A and B are shown apart, each in its own frame.
Chain A
Amino acid sequence: MAHNGIGASVRRKEDLRFLTGRGNYVDDINRPGQLYAHIVRSPHPHAAIRRIDTAKAARAPGVAAVFTGADMAPDKIGGLPCGWGVKNKDGSPMKEPTHPVLAVDRVRHVGDPVAVVIAETRAAARDAAELIDVDYKELPVITTIADAARKGAALVWDDAAGNVCYDWQIGDKDAVDAAFAKAHKVARLDLVNNRLVPNAMEPRAAIGDFDPGTGDYTLYTTSQNPHVIRLLMGAYVLHLPEHKLRVVAPDVGGGFGSKIYHYAEEAIVTWAAAKVNKPVKWTADRSESFLSDAHGRDHVTHAELALDKDGKFLALRVATQANLGAYLSTFAPAIPTWLYATLLAGVYTTPAIYCEVKAVFTNTVPVDAYRGAGRPEASYLLERLADVAAAEMKMDRVDIRRRNFIPNTAFPYQTPVAVQYDSGDYQATLDQALKAADWAGFAARKAEATRRGKLRGIGVSTYIEACGVAPSNVAGALGARAGLYEVANVRVNPTGSVTVLTGNHSHGQGHETTFAQLVAERLGLPIENVDIVHGDTGRIPFGMGTYGSRSLAVGGSALVKAMDKVIAKGKKIAAHLLEASEGDIEFKDGKFSVAGTDRSKTFGDVALAAYVPHNYPLDVLEPGLDETAFYDPKNFTFPAGCHVAEVEIDPDTGITQIVNFTACDDVGRVINPMIVEGQVQGGVAQGIGQALLENCIYDSTGHLLTGSMQDYCMPRADNLPNVSVATHATLCTHNPLGVKGCGEVGSIGSPPALINAMVDALGDYGIRHIEMPATPQRVWQAIQSAKPAQAA
């Protein structure tokens, strides 16, 4: 049998259907008699709704119904719930305004849904939507963090003074102040973490279906976590019990966080399907995605690092303002707090850290987790600051990192910001990346580039992140309103093949292959005999879905636990069949054997006996071989590593070319190296996008200037370099596979490496920092403004 277990680059089981056009995405699904929904959205960033006239639209050809928020009110439809509460410094709760499914009296961002037209065709629904007359009274608009905080600023929410959602803190302020008082030097940095639009290639879509005979609802939706949607929409919005609501998330074309959340359109089509008694389908066009998918990042930060005379980090003080948009998306409050400030120790021994975060409302699309979620913001800040500190101390950038690393002997390492790292080897990933990037040979390459008139720079980042969310009790204590375990059901079929039902969801990650490798390895089966099923609450017992690089660490652990139960029961059955004592049965390579003998039964023999129990210990054992496990993680996992970027800037045009990008990541044990490499390459591409290309911009009147793929700069093939990826594993100490997670490391480690490289390249101009995205225009302007200074 070919080696298809742990460590093999098994080619993906899911690829055949995707390569032949036989994927099954939500918009590919059509239900009999289906109608189409078109959502009418606010063209204004902030306005009172005085009147909505739907009469003409309702009479238009092909229209089945038109609904507004007022039509939903009699059914007491709830607002979209927020799944994480954050407290203010004084212990009081954050402001948590309602998030109506359809706006009733006020709209708060361009794209806010106000009505839905349901018609026989997409085109008819869209045509009729033009006939809806909404009388708006425009209100003053807040779009940026600076606007929101300005004295006397207009209010997005009348009861959120100063537009503040919360003013939160973590760490020991007094200890930090004391350390700063005796610091040899202080490195200071102001920076912006630019707002991004996730832009998974598949636009969101949803189909609501209602069976009047049984009262059962089905929602097909583009979700990373169908059970979570069933719970949130069923319990909080539509008041439907779980047993009458099935949520199916079939093939999903990328998520990157944006498909975690419960969105209004899911509730609208489900509710409307029962009203019109027909299936109702909605598919976003890309312009709608820009106006309705949760955005990412959007921080403004001031940070200070206190250093002693040897360059040791004494203390870190950070003040961050975060833009949450007009409403609280499902996990929004947690992102700039628990997923950000808890990572501010980075890979360093900084003994005292204090961070305060003020989160504000603005008249913009809600902001929530986007690939990395809080951790890219933390690592960008720290790794930029480490370079600034090195410059301040006139020390080597690599050396200052090395002397502040948490040593390998210090694990488990308790940081001053709540989390405890279990394992890592930061020197090793740094060494390996520097070697692969030929850091030592840079000076010669720079000299050669200088002769060609190019500015060459190199940058490094040694990042850490937290994955595998999360121990439920810890998350609960921090404000999470749900458990964060994962579930696996291992269903052994009578002839010995295995169907795994997992609560994780694959939308590009390749779980159908990786999880099957775990089964092939543990149960000794050919990988063809294993199927991984996900994305259907009607089939899978339960699950919390896929986000935060948690699938293998949490869901994979649940799968191992369920397989252990299968093997334990299998041993009992085998003992009976082999007339041996259970304690003498060993399981290896797909065989149950009596220790020290040649007597054995195959996995298939045992499965058949379990389902055809003619010769079976029925008096002590139930028939069947089907086990479920819930796994609640004991800690977060902490992937870490080193990224090195090398760039060349053309001083005449400001154009930056990435000439080399090298990553060495510690993601724990690697199950499928090919897939890990692909995940890192994809993450790095999004990091390069953030650092050099992507920027979500609202103008001062609250309109989205970057509202299409013509205006928002998505990374294209000719913008990106090849990305060299290596791994160096230290094992996670608290999950059975030793895995840490690889989905986000690319987008976390890469932006600071790139900006550090660019600042290095621009060093001769005295440029100390450049904001992301470092576009040619920004670089050129920085060079132009530096020139007079240089001449002087």
Chain B
Amino acid sequence: MPQVSLTVNGKPASAEVENRTLLVQLLREKLGLTGTHVGCDTSQCGACVVHVDGTAIKSCTILAVQVQGAQVLTIEGVAKDGKLHPMQEAFRENHGLQCGFCTPGMVMSALDLVKNNPSPNERQIREYLEGNLCRCTGYHNIVKSIEAGAAAMRGR
């Protein structure tokens, strides 16, 4: 079985995987990083979004062997030194989550959006979130959270 070595949340990681093992399975089942979730099997829901070499990607649509040597950031690596990232803080402050299952993917997508568009408006946020499903919130407060999170990040 192939061996995959990569950097996850700034730390080296390595695991033996099957050829067909998905990145999300590597993260959840081999590396114990269960914050990244699986909500569907057709790449629709976005609960599994992580960053690979700085780009948001649905970790259910990429094989583990494809991330050999890559830098992967998961939800577990977003808060630093026990302090929430401003985007996480914005979700908390604006009640941008209920059951929490879609939340890791939402936060990772939001960070990707803001990286490319530091001041997204409501319409841009809603369109960007096309690939992230939430069944609890109706998105209203997620949109508010991302607006607030983006503003806080600009102010840093």
Contacts and interface: CB of A to CB of B under 8 A. Distances in A.
B140 A681 contact: yes
10 contacts: A23-B100, A200-B99, A252-B99, A253-B39, A285-B41, A682-B135, A708-B40, A709-B40, A709-B45, A717-B130
B133 A678 contact: no
A686 interface: yes
A509 B98 CA distance: 6
A652 B116 CA distance: 35
B37 A684 contact: no
Contact of A27 (B38, B88, B136, B141): B38
B41 A708 contact: yes
A214 interface: no
A685 B138 contact: yes
A254 interface: yes
A717 B139 contact: yes
A25 B103 CA distance: 13
Nearest to B87: A19
B7 interface: no
Contact of A20 (B88, B93, B101, B140): B88
A691 interface: no
A201 B129 contact: no
Interface stretch (B51-59, B61-69, B72-80): B72-80
Contacts of B6: none
Nearest to B102: A201
Contacts of B143: 717, 722
Interface string B2-42: 00000000000000001010000000100001111111111
A681 B137 contact: yes
Contacts of B134: 201, 717
Nearest first, the 7 A-B pairs at minimum CB distance are A21-B35, A18-B100, A253-B101, A685-B138, A508-B99, A21-B75, A508-B98
B41 A254 contact: no
Contacts of A203: 38-39
Interface string B125-149: 1110110111111111111000000
A286 B35 contact: no
A278 B108 CA distance: 36
A722 B122 CA distance: 10
Given A16-B92, A20-B78, A716-B133, A201 B142 contact: no
A681 B137 CA distance: 6
A684 B137 CA distance: 9
B92 A15 contact: yes
Contacts of A22: 35, 76
Interface of B: 18, 20, 28, 33-42, 44-45, 47, 74-76, 78-79, 84, 88, 91-93, 95, 97-104, 107, 122, 125-127, 129-130, 132-143
Contacts of A768: none
Contact of A19 (B37, B103, B130): B103
B100 A20 contact: no
Contacts of A715: 138-139
Secondary structure dominating the interface of B: loop
A675 interface: yes
B98 A678 contact: yes
B103 A18 contact: yes
A688 B137 CA distance: 13
With most chain B CB atoms within 10 A of its CB, the pick from A21, A200, A674, A685 is: A21
Contacts of B101: 23, 25, 200-202, 253-254
Contact of B99 (A202, A688, A717): A202
B100 A723 contact: no
Given A19-B103, A710-B44, A201 B133 contact: yes
Contacts of B41: 285-287, 708
A19 B84 contact: yes
Nearest to B85: A19
Contacts of A17: 100
B36 A717 contact: no
Contact of B136 (A123, A682, A723): A682
A507 interface: yes
Contacts of B135: 199-201, 254, 256, 682, 686, 714
A682 B98 contact: yes
Nearest to B94: A674
Interface string A671-689: 0001101110111111010
Contact of A723 (B18, B47, B78, B138): B138
A678 B75 contact: no
A19 B104 CA distance: 6
B139 to A, nearest CB: 4
Interface in A697-732: 708-710, 714-718, 720, 722-723
A678 to B, nearest CB: 5
Contacts of B139: 685, 715-717, 720
B126 A718 contact: yes
Contacts of B45: 201, 286, 709
A510 interface: yes
Question: Which of B97, B100, B140 has the largest number of chain A CB atoms within 10 A?
Answer: B100
B99 A201 contact: yes
B45 to A, nearest CB: 6
Contacts of B37: 25, 201-202, 253
B97 A286 contact: no
A14 B95 CA distance: 11
Interface string A280-322: 0000011100000000000000000000000000000000000
Given A19-B84, A708-B41, A708-B44, 20 more contacts: A12-B92, A16-B92, A18-B97, A20-B78, A20-B88, A21-B33, A201-B136, A202-B37, A253-B100, A285-B38, A285-B41, A507-B99, A509-B98, A677-B95, A681-B138, A682-B135, A686-B135, A688-B138, A717-B143, A720-B138
A619 interface: no
A675 B99 contact: no
Contacts of A632: none
Contacts of B93: 11
A716 B128 CA distance: 10
A136 B136 CA distance: 40
B100 A251 contact: yes
A28 interface: yes
A678 B92 contact: no
Contacts of A201: 37, 39, 45, 47, 99, 101-102, 133-136
Contact of A681 (B28, B79, B91, B141): B141
A15 B97 contact: yes
Nearest to A15: B92
Contacts of B125: 717
A19 B92 contact: yes
A254 B98 contact: yes
B88 A19 contact: yes
Best-buried of A510, A677, A682 by chain B (most CB within 10 Å): A682
A675 B136 CA distance: 12
B137 to A, nearest CB: 5
